[in-house]
């Protein structure tokens, strides 16, 4: 690669400033928002890949992609341009970019009325571009005190500096959650916190394999630096600044299209295991799961059917039903429907070479093609070889949707689990149809799972247009969150996996992928011992996706009742999960409408507390709940840092108040699930037995955790029917809660909006036992109110 040094000012066109570089290249700087710039390196022949599928600031991208020259959806504000003798300065109200020679970009932000440097390119060579290929690199100076987050689903500690990471989607079954890299997803996004100038993020909009070196590499000829290197594609990045990391997370989610709004039942417990569908009597195994749920009086809202239902011998063949194992598919689906347990079927995007319909798909041209012939590409897949479907071909999309409709939806199986979709095609030049503009697979490998999942979503919507779809995808790139929930893949059974999966999940959430979870109990490896299994369940209930899943080495199954001696504690954990569903559902609504992460590290809400930047097993669920589950084998104590805030923290279980900014040590046993609620919060809980679907709701309890003395706070409760596609268009009930405290009273002012009316008819309120102030609801001293008595905002 060649280092690019010399540049000249070429001109300004509305929101874009263009520089001319060597060999006909150009560099474009586009002002998209006051705090968001875009920098694009263009080759002499134009873009290497002129479309993007990741950028979707106001509406979804077209299936065939978005033109990279399209800046729609951005406000593109005016800016000042100053051509100096030795520099070019581009300035908005928030960011000032200085471009110097040799080619170097230096970034400042206006902080408290003064300009402070927050990032800068390496002055001794910042941009490199291939002369005979399309490889490229970008180098930034590295401050040894900076803290780096992001990169999505990565192993090890949450803070990333000093390490090297690769983006190359792999089926990493049994990975070590502390060290394995790469994993399943491609998220080329980092956030960096500086000591004096706030925080900044950089998102490289490129789907080719790439590497991030965040301080692992040293070179005597350069000051400390960090590097981004890609094997192909375009150097096209988005630079954003914010006072805090939370603002960068919200910006990234908005930039890449927001978060899907699945049905409420997706927040319930979801059963799964490969063992059931692999068994010769698979249908009986699945219906037996329903009987066991009833026998043990456990709630369950869905079941994820592993791919064994498609088997012929030991291999799997998508859209093929093994009718020996499943003699009456419709009857089985009906049984699940009668119990209100939703079936989710595993589907895979690769057809093995002996698939019964392989020739049909090949003749129709549905596969990605080999780089050196017109034949379908062949890749290793599931102990054989197969060919991957090409979702940049409209004919493939139609074929896929048709098969989902006929093989799944027509049988009453309404949701899809898009799995094994890493597209491990190592023939970099294998050809994708590209919607009429051929593309090398090496340029868009992680896009394929996104388009696969989108096609699945469209099939489900066309089948049931009035119902919000639910999908899962294991692999993907920025934008996958627009269509599906995801999880951190096939983890290994080990105590440390819980700890590092927590950090992996929070890293995904900080990177804009909110609706996530982990395989509870461990997917591969040994069967979890009772204590490990219990602690995994007690931790898993605090994630948006709560699924117990397994493929244990000894062919055992991770099930809630697998160890009778801990079944009472498992039942208590599930009961708590279902009590929390109103809070979780409200957090999901805020994720969709306000780009607020559901899971977040404590540092995100408490940047003024240095202790929160230490690696921790604690995390926040929404704004108000601090989760500190027990992750140590044989633990008798749990030490928790209560972040510094203005109001303190309540023990969720006992109601005891604790001052903020202190470490406390709790005695714990197998029943313990330590939780703390921010003082000032009003916490919505389900009252009585319920399902996540809401089918047995009785009431809502609003647990008030008041701050001491005079205070003023706000909360929200979001409700709808749990499934309607029109929920975000007004078919909902949003309760705005204003809570004020004085020395004598706690006043809650409730105001409702939306056209939907809850099935339950009243709200109850509870205070901690030690609270002596009078509680007033809309001016009346009471602890309950009828739903129809809550004032409506439209009245």
3-class secondary structure, 349:
coil
662: left (phi over 0), alpha (psi -120 to 50) or beta: beta
3-class secondary structure, 162:
coil
Residues 345, 198 share a domain? no
Residues 692, 674 share a domain? no
Residues 6+ apart with CB under 8 A from 610: none
Angstrom distances, CA of residue 611 to CA of 622, 637, 657: 20, 20, 20
Q: From 231, 255, 279, give the residue that closes a domain.
A: 255
Is 174 part of any domain? no
DSSP letters of 725-792? TTGGGT-SEEEEEEEEE-SSEEEEEEEEESS---SS-EEEEE--TT--SEEEETTEE-SEEEGGGSPB
Average predicted confidence (pLDDT) for the chain: 96
Is 552 part of any domain? no
Residues 624, 686 share a domain? no
Residues 137, 25 share a domain? yes
Q: Is the pLDDT of residue 691 over 90?
A: no
Q: From 487, 518, 541, give the residue that closes a domain.
A: 487
Look up residue 630 and give its two tokens.
Answer: 């027990």
Is 690 part of any domain? yes
Residues 212, 88 share a domain? yes
**What is the H or E stretch that residue 380 is in?**
strand 379-381
Angstrom distances, CA of residue 90 to CA of 95, 97, 197, 486: 8, 5, 18, 39
Residues 629, 603 share a domain? yes
Q: Is the pLDDT of residue 695 over 60?
A: no
Q: Are 631 and 499 a contacting pair, CB within 8 Å?
A: yes
pLDDT in tens, 496-536: 999 999 999 999 999 999 999 999 999 999 999 999 999 99
Q: Are 640 and 668 a contacting pair, CB within 8 Å?
A: no
Is 147 part of any domain? yes
* Residue for token pair 């060290």: 179
Residues 621, 655 share a domain? yes
Q: Are 557 and 550 a contacting pair, CB within 8 Å?
A: yes
Residues 685, 674 share a domain? no
**What is the H or E stretch that residue 39 is in?**
strand 36-42
3-class secondary structure, 308:
helix
Q: Are 129 and 146 a contacting pair, CB within 8 Å?
A: no
Among candidate residues 236, 241, 141, the one with its CA nearest the CA of residue 200: 241
Is 572 part of any domain? no
**What is the H or E stretch that residue 26 is in?**
strand 26-33
- Assign residue 748 the CATH number of its domain: 2.60.40.1180
Over range 267-282, report the average pLDDT: 96
- Return contacts of 104-110, CB within 8 angstroms, 24+ apart: 105/39, 107/200, 107/239, 107/241, 108/197, 109/35, 109/197, 109/198, 109/200, 109/241
Q: Is the pLDDT of residue 430 over 60?
A: yes
Provide the number of structural domains found in the chain. 4
Q: Is the pLDDT of residue 795 over 70?
A: no
Greatest distance between any 2 Cα atoms in the chain: 81
pTM for this predicted structure: 0.97
Q: Is the pLDDT of residue 356 over 80?
A: yes
- Residue 469 CA to residue 534 CA, distance in Å, equals 31
Over range 735-763, report the average pLDDT: 95
pLDDT in tens, 134-192: 999 999 999 999 999 999 999 999 999 999 999 999 999 999 999 999 999 999 999 99
Q: From 460, 487, 514, give the residue that closes a domain.
A: 487
Q: Would you state the pLDDT for residue 690? A: 62
Among candidate residues 781, 784, 776, the one with its CA nearest the CA of residue 747: 776
Over range 684-709, report the average pLDDT: 81
Q: Would you state the pLDDT for residue 689? A: 60
Is 157 part of any domain? no
Q: Is the pLDDT of residue 693 over 80?
A: no
Q: Would you state the pLDDT for residue 759? A: 85
CA–CA–CA angle 244, 245, 249 (5° rounding): 130
pLDDT in tens, 4-44: 999 999 999 999 999 999 999 999 999 999 999 999 999 99
Domain that holds residue 324: 302-487
Residues 729, 692 share a domain? yes
Residues 447-465 as b or e (16 or more Cβ within 10 Å = b): bbbbbbbbbbbbbbeebee
pLDDT in tens, 177-208: 999 999 999 999 999 999 899 999 999 999 99
CA–CA–CA angle 148, 150, 152 (5° rounding): 150
- Assign residue 135 the CATH number of its domain: 2.60.40.1760
Residues 318, 418 share a domain? yes
- Residue 264 CA to residue 267 CA, distance in Å, equals 6
- Residue 385 CA to residue 403 CA, distance in Å, equals 22
Q: Is the pLDDT of residue 694 over 70?
A: no
- Rg of the chain taking only CA atoms, in angstroms: 27
- Assign residue 333 the CATH number of its domain: 3.20.20.80
Whether residue 102 is preceded by a cis peptide bond, meaning omega within 30 degrees of 0, is: yes
10 Å CB burial of residue 260 (0-12, 13-18, 19+) is: buried
Is 581 part of any domain? no
Q: Would you state the pLDDT for residue 794? A: 73
Q: Is the pLDDT of residue 383 over 60?
A: yes
pLDDT in tens, 569-627: 999 999 999 999 999 999 999 999 999 999 999 999 999 999 999 999 999 999 999 99
Residues 248, 133 share a domain? yes
Distance of CA 248 to the CA centre of its chain: 15
Q: Is the pLDDT of residue 692 over 80?
A: no
The percent of residues in the chain predicted with pLDDT above 90, rounded, is 96
Is 284 part of any domain? no
Residues 128, 78 share a domain? yes
CA–CA–CA angle 251, 257, 262 (5° rounding): 115
Q: How many helices (H) and strands (E) does the chain have?
A: 13, 53
Over range 398-420, report the average pLDDT: 98
């Amino acid at each position: 690669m060649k280092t690019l040094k010399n540049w000249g000012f070429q001109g300004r066109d509305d929101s874009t400033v263009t520089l001319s570089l060597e060999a006909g290249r150009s560099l474009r700087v586009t002002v998209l928002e006051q705090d968001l710039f875009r920098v694009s390196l263009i080759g002499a022949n134009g873009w290497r890949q002129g479309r993007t599928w990741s950028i979707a600031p106001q509406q979804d991208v077209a299936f065939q992609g978005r033109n990279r020259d399209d800046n729609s959806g951005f406000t593109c504000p005016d800016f000042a341009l100053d051509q100096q003798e030795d520099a070019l300065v581009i300035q908005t109200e928030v960011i000032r970019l200085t471009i110097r020679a040799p080619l170097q970009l230096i970034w400042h932000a206006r902080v408290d009325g003064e300009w402070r440097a927050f990032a800068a390119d390496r002055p001794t060579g910042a941009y490199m571009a291939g002369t005979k290929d399309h490889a490229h690199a970008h180098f930034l100076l590295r401050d040894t005190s900076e803290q780096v987050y992001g990169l999505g689903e990565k192993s090890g500690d949450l803070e990333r500096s000093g390490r090297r990471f690769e983006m190359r989607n792999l089926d990493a079954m049994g990975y070590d959650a502390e060290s394995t890299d790469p994993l399943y997803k491609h998220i080329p996004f980092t956030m960096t916190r500086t000591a004096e100038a706030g925080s900044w993020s950089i998102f490289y909009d490129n789907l080719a394999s790439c590497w991030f070196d965040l301080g692992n590499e040293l070179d005597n000829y350069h000051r400390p630096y960090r590097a981004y290197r890609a094997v192909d594609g375009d150097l096209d990045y988005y630079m954003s600044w914010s006072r805090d990391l939370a603002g960068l997370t919200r910006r990234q989610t908005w930039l890449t299209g927001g978060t899907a709004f699945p049905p409420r039942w997706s927040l319930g417990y979801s059963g799964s295991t490969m063992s059931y569908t692999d068994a010769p009597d698979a249908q009986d195994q699945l219906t037996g799961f329903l009987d066991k749920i009833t026998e043990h009086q456990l709630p369950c809202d869905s079941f994820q059917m592993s791919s064994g239902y498609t088997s012929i011998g030991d291999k799997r063949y998508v859209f093929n039903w093994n009718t020996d194992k499943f003699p009456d598919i419709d009857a089985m689906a009906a049984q699940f429907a009668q119990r209100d347990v939703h079936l989710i079927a595993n589907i895979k995007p690769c057809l093995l070479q002996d698939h019964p319909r392989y020739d049909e798909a090949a003749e129709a041209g549905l596969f990605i093609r080999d780089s050196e012939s017109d034949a379908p590409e062949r890749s290793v897949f599931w102990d054989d070889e197969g060919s991957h479907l090409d979702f940049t071909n409209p004919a493939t999309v139609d074929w896929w949707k048709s098969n989902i409709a006929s093989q799944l939806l027509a049988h009453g199986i309404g949701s899809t689990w898009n799995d094994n979709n890493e597209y491990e095609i190592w023939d970099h030049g294998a050809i994708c149809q590209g919607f009429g503009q051929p593309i090398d697979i090496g340029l868009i490998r992680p896009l394929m799972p996104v388009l696969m999942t989108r096609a699945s979503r469209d099939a489900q919507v066309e089948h049931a247009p009035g119902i919000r779809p639910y999908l899962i995808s294991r692999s993907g790139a920025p934008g996958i969150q627009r269509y599906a929930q995801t999880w951190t893949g096939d983890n290994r059974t080990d105590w440390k996996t819980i700890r590092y999966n927590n950090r992996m999940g929070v890293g995904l959430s900080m990177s804009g992928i909110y609706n996530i979870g982990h395989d509870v109990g461990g997917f591969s490896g040994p069967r979890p011992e009772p204590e490990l299994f219990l602690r995994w369940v007690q931790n898993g209930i605090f994630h948006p996706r709560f699924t117990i899943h397994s493929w244990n080495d000894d062919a055992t199954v991770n099930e809630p009742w697998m160890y009778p001696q801990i079944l009472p504690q498992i039942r208590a954990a599930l009961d708590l999960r279902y009590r929390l569903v109103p809070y979780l559902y409200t957090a999901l609504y805020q994720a969709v409408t306000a780009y607020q992460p559901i899971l977040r590290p404590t540092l995100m809400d408490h940047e003024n507390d240095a202790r929160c930047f230490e690696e921790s097993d604690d995390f926040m669920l929404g704004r108000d709940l601090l989760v500190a589950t027990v992750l140590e084998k044989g633990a008798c104590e749990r030490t928790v840092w209560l972040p510094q805030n203005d109001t303190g923290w309540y023990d969720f279980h006992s109601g005891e108040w604790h001052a903020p900014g202190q470490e406390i040590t709790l005695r714990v046993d197998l029943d313990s699930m330590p939780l703390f609620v921010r003082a000032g919060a009003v916490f919505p809980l389900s009252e009585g037995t319920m399902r996540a679907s809401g089918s047995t709701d009785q009431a809502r309890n609003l647990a008030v955790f008041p701050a001491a003395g005079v205070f003023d706070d706000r909360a929200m409760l979001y409700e709808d029917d749990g499934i309607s596609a029109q929920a975000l268009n007004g078919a909902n009930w949003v309760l705005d809660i204003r809570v004020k405290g004085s020395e004598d009273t706690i006043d809650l002012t409730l105001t409702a909006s939306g056209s939907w009316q809850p099935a339950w008819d009243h709200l109850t309120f509870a205070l901690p036992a030690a609270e002596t102030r009078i509680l007033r609801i809309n001016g009346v001293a009471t602890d309950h109110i009828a739903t129809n008595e809550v004032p409506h905002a439209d009245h």
